[in-house]
Structure 1
Amino acid sequence: MSLEAVVYTSRVSKRIDPHELQALVSDAEAFNSGADVSSVLLFDGGRFLQYLEGPARGLTDAYGRVRQASRHTNIIEVAKGVAGKRLFRHWPIKRFDVDSMVLGSIARADWSGFLQGHHRPGAVDHLLDVVSRRLDPA
């Protein structure tokens, strides 16, 4: 079974309060668990960046739901393809609040390195660094 991944950015379509955001994450967590999809969602208050990974069928279904969601607009696919390895195996979805500079720098970074397992420094490293700093702020 091949592992695929997709990264996209989007803008909230209208102001989203913390309860709505948590409901969105909880709904995605339930769906992604059943589809064997794991993901990280970055949110800066106005924009999302999400990295999703999983088997082709599960990823297609999860990303299809993302594309149909009404809470965001201007979806831009940053990268999509076969991934070398699963980065976030234990998280159906994990949300991190970040500032706009962090989200923007990850979105603009070189995402080609995660495809086909050809790892070279780039966006994946930046994302992993942001996640690890949020998990262990010491």
Structure 2
Amino acid sequence: MNDFSPALYEVLYVSTLATDQPLSVVAEIAGRARIANAQLEITGLLIFDGQRFCQQLEGPKKQVLKLIERIRNDPRHTNVEVIHHGPLAGRRFQHFSLAFSTVEDEDALARMEQLDGSAALAAFENVCEELEL
């Protein structure tokens, strides 16, 4: 990834694993996303709490917006809710096409789901501080 790519954009969303999906699909989602994201110059973090996803995507605006639309249409996710989006000064996760982590606090993503904008971003950053990435 070069430093001369188009202006960075980020999207932070939460969603729920569809009830008909086995937990094993989470590893499949993460594995395929790592490959696709690298090709699209998208980096980010996917957090899973056993039921909910929280994902931060960052990269060129056009690619990030296309990806969030694909996620919205993915039947493995329900209740996809964008809780923050906007320009990004610099990548948070430049070393990961997709970092993946589970979260110990099973209510952290449920609380984040109730927020939006800068409050959602602050909650995400707090969760990130607790993760060992």
Would you call these one fold, judging by a TM-score over 0.5? Answer: yes
1:57 match = 62
CA–CA distance in 2 between the matches of 1:40 and 1:101?
A: 18
Q: How does 1:1-138 map to 2 (within 5 A)?
A: 1-14=6-19, 16-98=21-103, 99-108=105-114, 111-112=117-118, 122-131=122-131, 134-135=132-133
Equivalences, count: 127
CA–CA distance in 1 between the matches of 2:18 and 2:24?
A: 16
CA–CA distance in 1 between the matches of 2:7 and 2:127?
A: 22
Runs of 4+ in 1 over 6 A off after TM superposition: none
**Which has the larger helix fraction?**
1
Q: What secondary structure sits across from 2:26 in the alignment?
A: helix
Q: What secondary structure sits across from 2:36 in the alignment?
A: helix
With the length of structure 2 as denominator, give the TM-score of the two structures.
0.81
Bigger mean CA deviation after superposition, 27-36 or 98-107? 98-107
- Is the 8 Å Cα contact of residues 108 and 127 (structure 2) preserved in structure 1? no
With the length of structure 1 as denominator, give the TM-score of the two structures.
0.79
CA–CA distance in 2 between the matches of 1:125 and 1:20?
A: 26
Q: CA RMSD in A?
A: 2.3
CA–CA distance in 2 between the matches of 1:11 and 1:114?
A: 17
Q: CA deviation at 1:126?
A: 0.8
Relative contact order, CA 8 A, sep 6+: which one is greater?
A: 2
Q: CA deviation at 1:124?
A: 4.9
**Which runs of 5 or more residues in structure 1 are unaligned?**
116-121
**Which runs of 5 or more residues in structure 2 are unaligned?**
1-5
- Is the 8 Å Cα contact of residues 39 and 94 (structure 1) preserved in structure 2? yes
Bigger mean CA deviation after superposition, 98-107 or 52-61? 98-107
CA–CA distance in 1 between the matches of 2:78 and 2:87?
A: 25
